[in-house]
Amino acid sequence: MPRVTNAPASRRRRKRVLEKAKGYFGSKSKLYRYATEAVNHAQQYSYRDRRAKKRTWRALWITRLNIACRENGITYSRFMEGIAAAGITLDRKVMSDIAAQDAAGFKTLVDQSRAALAEKNAAPKASSTPEGVDDLVRIEGIGPKINELLRAEKITTFAQLAAASVERLKEILRVAGPRFKTWDPTTWPEQAALAAKGDWAAFDQLTRELKGGRRV
């Protein structure tokens, strides 16, 4: 019975690895044992960094957009909210390129975003909040979790929030735990006072000057 070997398949397998290792330093490009380790490591790094590259580029696009938005008197978060409300489907990559290369074109986007925000704020909102309770999430710096904390403390309307002292609000956040210690409620009563009066133009002007409830 003839002797059967697996030499052709083994040789092809080794040649594939050495082909991938072509150009590596020293024995990593010539010896199969070391080439295998180098190629395996390279593929692991490639898998990891393909994903890291996406995060890095997205962070760069957001940074460019944030700078351009500040130059046009609007925050990045408000700009993106207005872009979504206007139905503009451009992604961050395209908008950051426009911001970097076409300042006039980006200003047009900002104007469209502002117009959509104004229309959105002027339209009556279908809210799940009970009657006689205001939507405190409209205050810059207040999210759903903090809204729940304020309701637990019987602060449910803009007028009640406007009457609350900053010290009391800080104490509510302190008692709620360390996850809320970074939030600054200094401007919440000021924003709430404008909302309680229905002065939405002044309210929008104030919130454009804030980031996370802080003046910037």
- Span 116-143, pLDDT tens digits: 999 888 876 555 555 567 889 999 989 8
Q: What pLDDT, on a 0 to 100 scale, did the predictor assign at position 68?
A: 95
Helix (H, G, I), strand (E, B), or coil: what is residue 97? helix
CB 185, CB 141: distance < 8 Å: yes
b/e map of 117-127 (b: 16 or more CB within 10 Å)?
Answer: beeeeeeeeee
**What six digits make up the tokens of 203?**
């309210």
CA 12, CA 160: separation in Å to the nearest integer?
A: 77
Alpha helices in the chain (DSSP H): 7-20, 32-71, 76-85, 92-101, 103-122, 144-152, 158-163, 166-176, 188-197, 200-208
SS3 138: helix
Strand, helix or coil for residue 55 = helix
42-76 pLDDT per residue, tens: 999 999 999 999 999 999 999 999 999 999 999 99
Q: Whole-prediction pTM value?
A: 0.50
What CATH number belongs to 57-122? 1.10.1900.20
Task: List the beta bridge partners of residue 214.
Answer: 211
Q: Where are the domains of the chain?
A: 8-44, 57-122, 136-215
